[in-house]
Structure 1
Amino acid sequence: MARNQPVEVLLRPAVELYTVAACAGAAFLCIAAPWSLALSPAMGAGSALAFSTFGVIRLRDARVILRYRRNIRRLPRYLMTSRDVPVSQQRLFIGKGFLWEQKHTHRLMQTYRPEFRRYVEPTPAYRLARRLEERLEFAPFPLSYLPRLTSWDVPFNPIRPLPPVGGLPRLHGIEPEEVDVSLPLSERVGHSLILGTTRVGKTRLAELFITQDIRRKNHLGEHEVVIVFDPKGDADLLKRMYVEAKRAGREDEFYIFHLGWPEISARYNAVGRFGRISEVATRIAGQLSGEGNSAAFREFAWRFVNIIARALVELGQRPDYMLIQRHVINIDALFLEYAQHYFAKHEPKAWEIIVQLEAKLNDKNIPRNMIGREKRVIALEQYLSQARNYDPVLDGLRSAVRYDKTYFDKIVASLLPLLEKLTSGKVAQLLAPNYSDLNDPRPIFDWMQIVRKRAVVYIGLDALSDAEVAAAVGNSMFSDMVSVAGHIYKHGIDDGLPGASANTKVPINVHADEFNELMGSEFIPMINKGGGAGIQVSAYTQTLSDIEARIGNRAKAGQVIGNFNNLIMLRVRETATAELLTKQLPKVEVYTTTIVSGATDSSDIRGSTDFTSNTQDRISMSSVPMIEPSHIVALPKGQAFALMQGGQLWKVRMPLPAPDPDEVMPADLQQLASYMRQSYTESAHWWENLGSPVLQDDPLPDDLLDETPTATATTTINEEIQNNEAAP
């Protein structure tokens, strides 16, 4: 096969096989009957070797043609167990593929030409087999067995059905020579955006990345931090994380936070850790709408929560949602408690005057704006208006109390629904943990602790059950993470510990599945400035419109997209999303051939020539886009275009997961995974089976009864079940 021709044509008959057959016959004659070719036995052996060598060369060329034609219709299977996933200290493995170049655009355009249809489209026998399967599905015996034979998925079945991945195999089959595609770890700090419509492999790609992140070690033997946000709750993702953590010996550092099953979930206080006290108000008020007239109410809610948080810190109490809700509803109690704390230190005799003022109060001399308040609160406010002391926290509480109570309830009305969502039912135990309850086996974690322990965290937000709570908790966690990233950037992760170094940083791998459901204004600074603290975000979503609809601002959506340096795009259905990739690619020159044929009559009746004919193959060049949005729409499941490393376009297909019998989970996590499958696989029936999983009474293996957070929680739950069964 000539390789130096300007126009490459691989969709053609493998004519090299004729040469191979001729060489094989000549070599046989040279060995078996050299006399028939007038050769001596020695010359016959040499000639046979020469014919065989040339035949092997032509056979290799023929295999290229045959392999190319096979891949155009059906790609070879690509399976891999999680144990076989390569883990490198330098690169992140993505799958098999090739670097897309001009020749691939040329080959792809050839597959759409009518003269090559018979090499690209399914054969008539294949189409006939599929029609028979449809018609004979309910046929009587023995005709009902014919579809089983035609659909038998074995290599020697020439009409077996294609894999159920859809799309066009030609998009990847145009390059038979695949290589392992990977992303340098130094590029991950620029963050990665993975786009793809539902059920095309985003979560499976996330499993591939998370597997490597959990198992990776640096040159010192230290693991990396892995944090996964899963709004909808994918049971296979949870299973993969636990199995990989156990294989890596990290099950002691494996945390599960799940809003849907608080009985076995770890606990987390989203506002309990902060660098500046104002962060508490930012994380709560940030969940409120800031559009139009709501902006004023949001600003007041921020100020009011900030006043409460400052007072709680001065009183030595850790802020949480429950405390803030309690004092939003009744600010008078906090006002009195803080005043007692302040006067005990600065004016011990102030209460005597306040009691005297309280005794003089009646319905006639109470100010109108203080109607409905306790008399002790009114007396305290009157004393502070006359006393010459200044305390910013006390003055802030006093300004809140001086509002008319009816008016005050109206302006905090937007804040109370949010706090109700975060403090209702058993969710309150997770988001407002009781630090002094030593009988609760569920661990309490914060992000600095997670980073220092190099832990693995699964965040299940149960968005199908309550999207509002899921978004609020997710935003609070993102905001908390930004605060921790700022602290790490300035002081390192070991700040405050003996021998701490300000330059100590570790990779913090954050995987946010369906991140458009969680993101808010807090997400932008995390991807914009979090790289300096080691945060590496991999965000997964369906379309650009999801991001814009969530933020509500096209400019901010563009700001989010602009902070992702690596783009991996699976099949999408929105043209605007596909153009995010295609518009960043250059145009390329491709060759086209045109057949020109003509005949010219001769006007000389006495000449020897009556007419002349002419047939030409003309080669021209045209400029076309490297890929079109329609190609991205037609991608099979599990395949993607990856734009990374400064604009290099790679065509990738990820490995399909192969079953591994060694993957075992504890009984409580098995029950949780099974209920997650029941609750979340069919989103149309998400309202069914939302109760907490009932764990089986089977005892756990001895190796799972260690004093780990998961094992301890399992033991406690099993004991509670046994006690409930023994109760009358």
Structure 2
Amino acid sequence: MAEHAMESKLRPAVELYTVAICIAATLLCLHAPWAVALSPEIGLIAALAYALFGCIRLRQAWDVFRYRRNIRRLPRYELTSRQIPVSRQRLFMGRGFPWTRLHTQRLVEAQDPAVARYIDPPLVQRLARGLERHLEYAPFPLSTLARFTAWDSAFNPVRPLPAVGGSALLHGVEPDEILASLPLGERVGHTLVLGTTRVGKTRLAEVYITQDIHRREHEVVIVFDPKGDPDLLKRMYVEARRAGREQEFYVFHLGWPEISARYNAVGRVGRITEVASRIAGQLSGEGNSAAFREFAWRFVNIIARALNELGRRPDYLQIQRHVVNIDALFIEYAQQFFTRTDPQAWEVVVQLEGKLNEKNTPRHMLGREKRVVAIEQYLAAKRVFDPVLDGLRSAVRYDRTYFDKIVASLLPLLEKLTTGKTAQLLAPDYTNLADPRPIFDWLQIMRKRGIVYVGLDALTDAEVAAAVGNSMFADLVSVAGHIYKHGIDHGLPASSQSADKVPINLHADEFNELMGDEFIPLINKGGGAGIQVTAYTQTLSDIEARIGNRAKAGQVIGNFNTLQMLRVRETATAELLTRQLPKVNVLTRTLVSGATDTADPHAATDFTSSSQDRVSATGVPLIEPAHIVSLPKGQMFSFQEGGQLWKVRMPLPKPSPDDAMPRDLQELAQCMRASYNEQAGQWWKASGGGPTLDFDLGRAASPGAVATEDSSTREAP
């Protein structure tokens, strides 16, 4: 094939003419060399030369046929979870290729109307699809014909295209795919995955999570799933069992507290002020709300300090109880303080209490318990100084009506976190040894290299889901700061400490529903503690709407070094990628023809004509927003490693016969499917998983709670 200024593969395979001539010449030289004046020996050499040249031209013709077929239908690509490659240096994404100027050139050439017959479905395909529509309700045996034409098999000559939508051109422009991967060193810079609904974000998360679970170093894996995807939960447990890590697997689910592990978001803190920061940080700080937020922070901090001095671990229930009625905490702390510092004080307080009535009670103390008023009068007379007691005194000195107004913004948040069975999960009873549900905290999970699935049941109650998710993120920020300063094994014996940093893989599906101000420092500074965030959402507008500030939304986006974009429907979101890409020069061909008459009647020629084929270079974007909007399901552009653009298609999930779960987790997954109606489309129908085994557990799949099962037959790769 001669070298030309422009590559052209959308054309007839004219190389076959040369192949036919070479075959004829080879046969002639072998069987009748005398016909071309050759001796038998020279004829054999000539036949070999013709055969070699014919093979070269046949290969060139095959490239043209393969390219034309790739444009219309990509080869099927599916893997079982066991076939997903796991590397200690790279993160597998799928099959793809680096997108270069050549692919932009091919994309431009494919838009030429002259080659439309190579792009559009052939006539027989269009006839078959039309036949299926007309025979949809036809009686037997006509309905059998429609089922045959719709048969998804390689033996079907009119096999329908996969129901992935989009433009096959975007991946078909490169028939020579390779394994696409991301260096693990890039993950600490965080990854943002953008894609509209039902295009494969959660399935891409499954591919990544599978590798994180199976990596030899036993990395920490934390998954936030606001909507509750049953296939994602199933995949995590199955992979944890295959990796021998089922004892490290925890399920936290607000929708099913009966089998969920328990978690206290304010139970482990480095400084006691973190309790107030995590709770008040979820309140609005805009406009007039800022003052109420500051007061709420101060009031929660007073309660947390008092509980800490009393030897209690703060939790949402205790804080909510004392926000509603601060008097009981004031009396309890004063009693302990007097017992420690002034044993005779309590007798004086009882005497003062007996003398109180409505007339001699200060107006601002009306509505308070008499004992509270008596303690306040005693402390005012004695001028006792104690930071915690002074804080409690300042709270009870407020007028009761005024106090209720200024804590009104705090109470709805606490009600969300302490109502119903949610309180059992977020305010666990550490003394109840009969409760089989484990209690975990993030530092414990990171030390034991745990795997955590967090289902927030956002489809049922988005407000509570957001509140709990924000609390967990705030806790993670605190733990990240502790690890950054002291290391993950701080406080453990020196023999058990390890110098290596433990990768903490945090996957946040629909993360815009969980994000608040505490998420910004998590991605901004969490990398120093080994936290690697992979966030999945639909559009940039989701992030901005959640935060309520364009500058903060830009701050969040700016902390993601790797951007992976599936099909999106918002042009502004697509431009987040396309504006970072350079322009490239593509070649365009222009056919120019013309004729010129001769004015001299005595000239030998009447006119002259010319025909030219001009090639010119034009600057165009490497890809445009329209290309991202038309991506098929399961395909994406990955902008990584400081400017490399990869076109990737992820593997279709292929069921494996050993996808077994304990009975309680099977029931949870079935309820999630029924409640959320999250049954994926036809494209993801293969992700259901094969037969399952039942186990009688009766409690959460967590350390000490998972029975030992016999290994089932596994599908050979």
Partner of 1:323: 318
Q: Which blocks of at least 5 consecutive residues in structure 1 are unaligned? A: 685-697, 716-728
Whole-angstrom distance in 2 between the partners of 1:707 and 1:549: 36
Partner of 1:267: 262
Whole-angstrom distance in 2 between the partners of 1:49 and 1:156: 37
Structure 1 residue 144 displacement after superposition: 1.8
Structure 1 residue 156 displacement after superposition: 4.1
Note if 1:121 corresponds to 2:114.
no
Q: Which blocks of at least 5 consecutive residues in structure 2 are unaligned? A: 681-692, 709-717
Partner of 2:246: 251
Which of 425, 443, 455 does residue 420 from structure 2 map onto? 425
Structure 1 residue 605 displacement after superposition: 2.3
Say if 1:591 and 1:707 are closer, same or farther in 2 by CA, change over 3 A.
Answer: closer
Does the Cα contact within 8 Å between 2:263 and 2:426 map onto a contact in 1?
A: yes
Structure 1 residue 388 displacement after superposition: 2.7
Partner of 2:49: 50
For 2:189, what is the secondary structure of its paired residue? coil
Note if 1:630 corresponds to 2:616.
no
Measured against aligned partners, the alpha-carbon deviations of 1:181-211 in whole angstroms (never above 9, x if no partner) come to 1111111000000000000000000000000
Tell me the C-alpha RMSD between the 2 structures. 1.8
For 1:712, what is the secondary structure of its paired residue? coil
Partner of 2:506: 510
Partner of 1:75: 74
Whole-angstrom distance in 2 between the partners of 1:112 and 1:248: 48
Which of 269, 280, 283 does residue 285 from structure 1 map onto? 280
Whole-angstrom distance in 1 between the partners of 2:64 and 2:507: 42
Partner of 2:688: none
Structure 1 residue 359 displacement after superposition: 2.0
Whole-angstrom distance in 1 between the partners of 2:486 and 2:6: 60
Counterpart residue type for residue 440 of structure 2: F
Whole-angstrom distance in 2 between the partners of 1:713 and 1:41: 79
Measured against aligned partners, the alpha-carbon deviations of 1:628-686 in whole angstroms (never above 9, x if no partner) come to 100000000000001000011111100111111122111111111111111112599xx
Partner of 1:588: 584
Measured against aligned partners, the alpha-carbon deviations of 1:538-587 in whole angstroms (never above 9, x if no partner) come to 00000000000000001000000000000000000000000000001111
TM-score, normalised to structure 2, is: 0.95
Whole-angstrom distance in 2 between the partners of 1:502 and 1:479: 26
Counterpart residue type for residue 199 of structure 1: R
For 1:260, what is the secondary structure of its paired residue? coil
Structure 1 residue 699 displacement after superposition: 6.8
Note if 1:709 corresponds to 2:705.
no
Partner of 1:232: 227
Does the Cα contact within 8 Å between 1:464 and 1:683 map onto a contact in 2?
A: no
Greater CA drift, 305-314 or 125-134: 125-134
For residues 393-404 of structure 1, the aligned pairs below 5 Å read 393-404=388-399
For 1:144, what is the secondary structure of its paired residue? helix
Counterpart residue type for residue 173 of structure 1: G
Which of 367, 371, 379 does residue 366 from structure 2 map onto? 371
Measured against aligned partners, the alpha-carbon deviations of 1:41-95 in whole angstroms (never above 9, x if no partner) come to 3222222211111111111111111111111111111111110111010010111
Measured against aligned partners, the alpha-carbon deviations of 1:353-397 in whole angstroms (never above 9, x if no partner) come to 212222221111100010011111001011111213211100000
Structure 1 residue 319 displacement after superposition: 0.3
Say if 1:190 and 1:312 are closer, same or farther in 2 by CA, change over 3 A.
Answer: same
Does the Cα contact within 8 Å between 2:473 and 2:518 map onto a contact in 1?
A: yes
Whole-angstrom distance in 2 between the partners of 1:379 and 1:406: 20
Does the Cα contact within 8 Å between 2:81 and 2:210 map onto a contact in 1?
A: yes
Paired-residue identity, %: 72
Which of 594, 616, 620 does residue 616 from structure 2 map onto? 620
Does the Cα contact within 8 Å between 2:437 and 2:700 map onto a contact in 1?
A: no
For 1:660, what is the secondary structure of its paired residue? coil
Does the Cα contact within 8 Å between 1:95 and 1:652 map onto a contact in 2?
A: yes
Does the Cα contact within 8 Å between 1:705 and 1:711 map onto a contact in 2?
A: no
Partner of 1:690: none
Partner of 1:476: 471
Partner of 1:568: 564
Structure 1 residue 707 displacement after superposition: 11
For 1:538, what is the secondary structure of its paired residue? strand
Whole-angstrom distance in 1 between the partners of 2:679 and 2:284: 27
Greater CA drift, 278-287 or 603-612: 603-612
Counterpart residue type for residue 125 of structure 1: V
Whole-angstrom distance in 1 between the partners of 2:698 and 2:22: 71
Whole-angstrom distance in 1 between the partners of 2:376 and 2:706: 49
For 2:642, what is the secondary structure of its paired residue? coil
Whole-angstrom distance in 2 between the partners of 1:676 and 1:126: 39
TM-score, normalised to structure 1, is: 0.93
Say if 1:384 and 1:707 are closer, same or farther in 2 by CA, change over 3 A.
Answer: closer
Structure 1 residue 501 displacement after superposition: 5.2
For residues 95-106 of structure 1, the aligned pairs below 5 Å read 95-106=94-105
For residues 292-371 of structure 1, the aligned pairs below 5 Å read 292-371=287-366
Whole-angstrom distance in 2 between the partners of 1:292 and 1:64: 65
Counterpart residue type for residue 681 of structure 1: N
Structure 1 residue 31 displacement after superposition: 2.2
Structure 1 residue 611 displacement after superposition: 1.4
Counterpart residue type for residue 518 of structure 2: E
Whole-angstrom distance in 1 between the partners of 2:433 and 2:706: 13
Counterpart residue type for residue 124 of structure 1: L
Partner of 1:536: 532
Does the Cα contact within 8 Å between 1:491 and 1:501 map onto a contact in 2?
A: no
Counterpart residue type for residue 284 of structure 1: I
Structure 1 residue 159 displacement after superposition: 2.3
Does the Cα contact within 8 Å between 1:585 and 1:625 map onto a contact in 2?
A: yes
Whole-angstrom distance in 2 between the partners of 1:145 and 1:699: 39
Whole-angstrom distance in 2 between the partners of 1:39 and 1:713: 82
Say if 1:619 and 1:273 are closer, same or farther in 2 by CA, change over 3 A.
Answer: same
Counterpart residue type for residue 226 of structure 1: V
Partner of 1:388: 383
Partner of 1:65: 64
Whole-angstrom distance in 2 between the partners of 1:164 and 1:699: 34
Whole-angstrom distance in 2 between the partners of 1:683 and 1:26: 61
Whole-angstrom distance in 2 between the partners of 1:125 and 1:417: 63
Partner of 2:446: 451
Does the Cα contact within 8 Å between 2:251 and 2:701 map onto a contact in 1?
A: no
Structure 1 residue 286 displacement after superposition: 1.5
Whole-angstrom distance in 2 between the partners of 1:440 and 1:714: 18
For 1:606, what is the secondary structure of its paired residue? coil
Say if 1:143 and 1:673 are closer, same or farther in 2 by CA, change over 3 A.
Answer: same
Note if 1:559 corresponds to 2:555.
yes
Does the Cα contact within 8 Å between 1:192 and 1:564 map onto a contact in 2?
A: yes
Which of 487, 493, 497 does residue 492 from structure 1 map onto? 487
Greater CA drift, 311-320 or 422-431: 422-431
Note if 1:210 corresponds to 2:209.
yes
